[in-house]
Amino acid sequence: MKRVAVLTQPLLALVAAFVLTTLALLSTGVSPLEAYRLVLFGAFSTPVRLSDMIMLAAPLLLCAVGLSITFTGGLYNLGVEGQMIVGAIAAMVPLRLWPDWPPLLLWLIAALSGAAGGALWALMIGILRRYAGVSEIFAGLGMNFLAGGLALYMVLGPWRRQSSASLSGTDLLPRELWLPTIDRLRLVPAAPVIALLALVIVWWALTQTRWGLEVRAVGLNPAASERLGIATTRRMAETLAACGALAGIAGMLQVVAVHHALIPNISSGIGLLGLLVALLARANPRWLLPITVAFAAFTVGSIQLPLTLGIDSAIAGVLQGALVLFALATRIRQ
């Protein structure tokens, strides 16, 4: 009985999600099959799209991995979007200050600075929750608005273009500071490598170490953990900082590997998508990678929809959201 449920329930969620998405597609009058062909497989159709998919999957995986730490610790870190933005801003600082330094050293400093920025931004949420009693959900959302404002300020204020301030972003970084790409593609091999490395390290830390055990205990029952002598406040701060640091590195990648500048929308909703990935993976590291790749493929595949079929690309978000929603329904009662 139980084994049957394990197999049929995800299948049921999958079917329900596709029924909802198909209904939405049918309402526009386009052929759902044609739309699905683009959304599901479009990202694999050409090398350029495949490389775009990988370049989206890398920061997405970093965010989702970070969020699986905070989920394990029992926190809803909705502030991940802001942590990514602040990470991107913090990574820009050394790049703008010392553009003449050797690129390798600069990238390292930028990554550290981005991670520190994201971690500090995440810790603010911890402080607001622990000492001001603001739920981490609202603290996170507030910090997102604040981070967005900060990015806009930098783009239009101190780091505005030399010609004239523009919403399209700061001046591009000098070419030497762009992370190297594979010939003629926008694929930066370093990005997926960093993301996969983070996945392995976090999986190890959460499942194989005493620290991971304590984080899981805090997530399941903070009051009992406290009584058992676990420093719950400290673990909470550590999980938030770790998630923020990973999101910050994702932000740094957006700067040095994708946009080569700071743009106001540097996080592009990747953090929120990462929340969906982490919710669907149930903070289980084994599922993080396949779900991340699938979601990144949906998003990249759907970009062609407006041009080829004349429908909005938001259908990828509908499919992603529906999948997570129905997967939640089949989860064991909490």
- Contacts with another protein, residue ranges (CB under 8 A): 24, 27-28, 76, 78, 128, 131-135, 137-139, 141-143, 145-146, 148-149, 152-153, 156-157, 165, 167, 264, 272, 275-276, 279, 311-312, 314-318, 320-322, 324-325, 328-329, 331, 333-334
Give 99 or 149: the residue with its C-beta nearer to another protein: 149
User: What is the closest distance, in whole angstroms, from the C-beta atom of residue 202 to another protein in the complex?
Assistant: 21
Alpha-carbon distance of 223 to 325, in angstroms, equals: 29
Distance CA 120, CA 251 (A): 14
Residue 214 CB, shortest distance to another protein, in Å, is 22
> Which C-beta is closer to another protein: that of 133 or that of 229?
133
CA gap 212, 285 in Å, rounded: 13
Contact in structure between 61 and 199 (CB atoms under 8 Å): yes
Q: Least distance in Å: CB of 128 to another protein? A: 6
Quote the CA–CA distance of 193 and 200 in Å, as a whole number.
11
Give 94 or 169: the residue with its C-beta nearer to another protein: 169
Q: What are the distances in angstroms from CA 118 to CA 23, 82, 85?
A: 39, 8, 8
Judge contact between 169 and 108, C-beta under 8 A.
no
* Residue 297 to residue 304: CA distance in whole angstroms: 12
Distance, in Å, from the CA atom of 277 to the CA atom of 271, rounded to the nearest integer, reads 10
What is the closest distance, in whole angstroms, from the C-beta atom of residue 209 to another protein in the complex? 26
Closest distance to another protein from the beta carbon of 116 (Å): 22
Q: Which is nearer to another protein, 191 or 291 (CB)?
A: 291
CB 64 within 8 A of CB 292: yes
**Residue (230 or 325) nearer to another protein, CB:** 325
**C-alpha of 139 from chain center:** 18
What would you report as the CA-atom Rg of the chain, rounded to the nearest whole angstrom?
Answer: 20
Q: How far apart are CA 220 and CA 228, in angstroms?
A: 13
Q: Is 151 or 206 the residue whose CB approaches another protein more closely?
A: 151
Shortest reach from residue 296's CB to another protein, in Å: 16
* Shortest reach from residue 24's CB to another protein, in Å: 6
Nearer to another protein, 105 or 127 (CB): 127
